[in-house]
Amino acid sequence: MRYVSTRGRSPPASFAHAISTGYAPDGGLYVPECLPTVGLETLRKWSALKFQDLCVEIMALWVGEDIPAADLRGVVAASFAEFSAEEVVPLAGLRGAYVAELFHGPTLAFKDFGQQVLCKLVDYFARKSGKRVTLVVSTTGDTGPAALRAAAGSTNLRIVCFYPTGQVSRLQERQMTTVEAPNVRVISFEGGGDDMDAPIKAINTDAAFRDKHGLCSINSINWGRVAVQTVHWFFSYFRACEASGRGVGTRMHFVVPTGAMGNVAAGFIAREMGLPANLTCGVNANDIVHRCVARGQFHRAGMHRTISQAINIQVPYNMERVLYYLGGRDPTLTRGWMHIMDTTGKLTLRGPHLRALRAALNAESVTDGETAAVMRGCYEGHGYLCDPHTAVAISAGEKLGLLDGAPQAGGYPVVVLATAHAAKFEGAVRRSLGDGFWEGEFLRVHMPESARELEQKPEVGGAPAGKLFRVGEDWVAQLRTVVETGFGVGQSRL
């Protein structure tokens, strides 16, 4: 399996190279040179597998000959050793739909799937090559903790993690600032959730600097993240077939909370491979995906703060992968589109390309009020506690008539991807269910032990006053300095 850039001006790369760098040299995103086709017979075979075994089967398609089968199986086993649910992705019934709970990993969010496997694969290749890799990641709240948990303590990896100050929950912040390891740096910055993307891309596309320091971006621009996440789409589908009594091959609706579109890109790729799925994106007030599907306007807009802050994304970079496939895998067309977006912030799709996008994706935007109402309704009416991002997806499905057996679903089963545990968003839960929700018995029942234990850990990291990246400063220069000098012996944080 070889990987090519969506922009067509980089040589084909191996899986190992693609995931160990992140961005292609021309600034594009790596995608498979050709997608494997999964027929009905293979789907039926896969449907009987446990999650870890399915992960090995699917990852073997992406890895090719870069990793021996036994080594790949070892990486997968280690990646899911800390997941608390035996089946990894349990399903819950809610309002005529199935909720695929992707939050039973060590940091209570679906990002654990991609980061655990990706970081262990990058570590594997770094160890084999004898070259240390510097991971650089920016987070809106869940990616960072998952990456830090996966990489902390590795002698082959260093990791620098950025998060927007004041825009992550207390638990998310503590999941980052309580990590104590010599290979870890955690730094906050002013601005919106994806404002750090351009500086990270700048240093990753500087070939000399990237190669000197072994830079690798592990946000969902990294193909490894998308590749791993295809697994939970297939697995959730199989479990929903089983729960609904439908045969494998039945079409299903999937509704997913959408930010940078890494999860959506994985679902899109899975569908291109042969997963019989309709994809719906639930977005908050940062609704560029909805505007693009509805009006063809992939236009950057100002960032809105919401209670579903992990999807406060102004420009989802994985749209580039979707557009590449919708444009007939034409890198010249994709490169032109991305040049327009990079230089003007306003790409408008028309005609056949807009029709292709609408055939591939549906989208609906949800207000904070609607999100809170769904959280309240799920708990009070059904005894199900959901986080605000899952609530965005549920609300989107509700507004589009996909829940409660509505006729718009066409009789197809509906799967909602639950992307985080509600405990990660205490404030949003209080806003929806009352200020006293986390007191007494509710705390014991609904707050996982791992989250409660964080309250007892000292905050050894995070950027103290004067150290955070401030608006108006040269973030590219500061980022270079961190990579070059920020890992002194005995210093675990800036």
What is the reported pTM?
0.94
CA angle, 163 then 137 then 151, to 5°: 110
Specify the range with the lowest mean pLDDT, choosing from 154-168, 185-199, 239-253, 415-429.
185-199
Summarize the confidence of residues 269-284 as an average pLDDT. Answer: 98
Indicate whether 36 belongs to any domain: no
Contact present, 276 and 263 (Cβ < 8 Å): no
pLDDT attached to residue 447:
86
Report how many domains make up the chain: 1
Asked if the model's pLDDT at residue 490 lies above 80, the reply is no
DSSP character for 130? Answer: T
Average pLDDT, the chain: 94
Top-confidence residue, 245 or 465: 245
Indicate whether 145 belongs to any domain: no
DSSP per-residue string spanning 372-402: HHHHHHHHHHH-----HHHHHHHHHHHHTT-
In single-letter form, the type of residue at position 132 comes to R
Strand order in the sheet with 361-365: 91-94, 97-101, 414-418, 252-257, 277-283, 361-365
> Among 45, 50, 111, 131, which one carries the catalytic annotation?
111
Summarize the confidence of residues 242-254 as an average pLDDT. Answer: 97
Phi/psi at 446 (nearest 5 deg)? Answer: -105, -10
Contact present, 185 and 494 (Cβ < 8 Å): yes
Indicate whether 75 belongs to any domain: no
Structural domain containing residue 379:
91-107+224-446
* Host H or E run for residue 431: helix 426-433
Indicate whether 291 belongs to any domain: yes
Indicate whether 469 belongs to any domain: no
* Host H or E run for residue 364: strand 361-365
How many angstroms separate the CA atoms of 92 and 109, rounded? Answer: 16
For residue 444, what pLDDT band results from cuts at 50, 70 and 90? confident
**pLDDT tens digit sequence for 336-349:** 999 999 999 999 99
The total number of residues shown for the chain amounts to 494
**Which has the closest alpha carbon to 451: 488, 416, 478, 426?**
426
For residue 199, what pLDDT band results from cuts at 50, 70 and 90? very high
For residue 461, what pLDDT band results from cuts at 50, 70 and 90? low
Indicate whether 41 belongs to any domain: no
Asked if the model's pLDDT at residue 161 lies above 70, the reply is yes
Indicate whether 176 belongs to any domain: no
Query: What CATH number is given to the structural domain containing 280?
Result: 3.40.50.1100
Question: In three state form, how does the secondary structure of 157-194 look?
Answer: EEEEEEEECCCCCHHHHHHHHCCCCCCEEEEEECCCCC
Alpha-helical runs (H) found in 64-130: 69-79, 111-129
212 as an active site residue: the answer is: no
Indicate whether 467 belongs to any domain: no
**pLDDT tens digit sequence for 289-311:** 999 999 999 999 999 999 999 99
Any idea which residue has 């639950």 for tokens?
418
For residue 494, what pLDDT band results from cuts at 50, 70 and 90? very low
**pLDDT tens digit sequence for 73-128:** 999 999 999 999 999 999 999 999 999 999 999 999 999 999 999 999 999 999 99
For residue 493, what pLDDT band results from cuts at 50, 70 and 90? very low
How many angstroms separate the CA atoms of 348 and 295, rounded? Answer: 8
Summarize the confidence of residues 136-142 as an average pLDDT. Answer: 91
